[in-house]
Amino acid sequence: MLRVLLLLPTTTYRTEAFLSAAHQLEVDVTVASEHPNTLEHLNPSALLTLDFQDLPGAAARVMEFSRDWPIDAVVPVDSQVVVVAATIAEALGLRHNSVQSAAAAEDKHLMRQLFEQAGVSSPRYRLCCLDEDRADLAARVEYPCVVKPLSLAASQGVMRADDPDQFAARVERLEAILACQDGEVAEEFLVEQFVEGPEVALEGILTDGALRVLALFDKPDALDGPFFEETIYLTPSGLADDVQQGIARLVQQAASALGLTDGPVHAELRLATDGPVVLEVHGRSIGGLCSRLLTFGSGLSLEELIIRHAVDQEVELPARQSEAAGVMMIPIPAAGRLEEIRGLEDARAVAGIDDLTITAHLGQQLVPLPEGSQYLGFLFARADQPEAVERALRDAHERLEFVVRP
| Nearby residues of 3 by Cβ (< 8 Å), 6 or more positions away | 27, 28, 29, 30, 69, 70, 71, 72
Provide φ and ψ at 384, rounded to 5°: -70, -35
Q: Is 3.40.50.11540 the CATH classification of the domain at 3-104?
A: no
- What pLDDT is stored for residue 180 in this prediction? 86
d(CA 146, CA 123): 10
Question: Which candidate, 294, 374, 359, 286, places its Cα nearest to that of 326?
Answer: 294
Fold of 124-193: Dna Ligase; domain 1 (3.30.1490)
CB-based contact 52:59 (threshold 8 Å): no
CB-based contact 347:353 (threshold 8 Å): yes
CB-based contact 205:263 (threshold 8 Å): yes
CB-based contact 50:84 (threshold 8 Å): yes
- What pLDDT is stored for residue 313 in this prediction? 58
d(CA 214, CA 305): 10
- What pLDDT is stored for residue 175 in this prediction? 95
At residue 266, the 3 state secondary structure works out as strand
- What pLDDT is stored for residue 283 in this prediction? 95
Question: Which candidate, 102, 190, 118, places its Cα nearest to that of 152?
Answer: 190
CB-based contact 143:137 (threshold 8 Å): no
d(CA 104, CA 261): 13
Provide φ and ψ at 56, rounded to 5°: -65, -40
d(CA 21, CA 28): 11
Fold of 323-406: D-amino Acid Aminotransferase; Chain A, domain 1 (3.30.470)
Q: What is the pTM of this model?
A: 0.93
- 10-residue averages of pLDDT along the chain (406 residues): 92 90 92 74 74 96 94 93 96 94 95 98 97 93 96 90 97 94 85 97 96 96 93 96 98 98 96 97 93 88 94 76 93 95 98 96 95 93 96 98 96
Domain boundaries of the chain, sorted by first residue: 3-104, 124-193, 323-406
Question: Do you find a cis peptide bond into 149, omega within 30 degrees of 0?
Answer: no
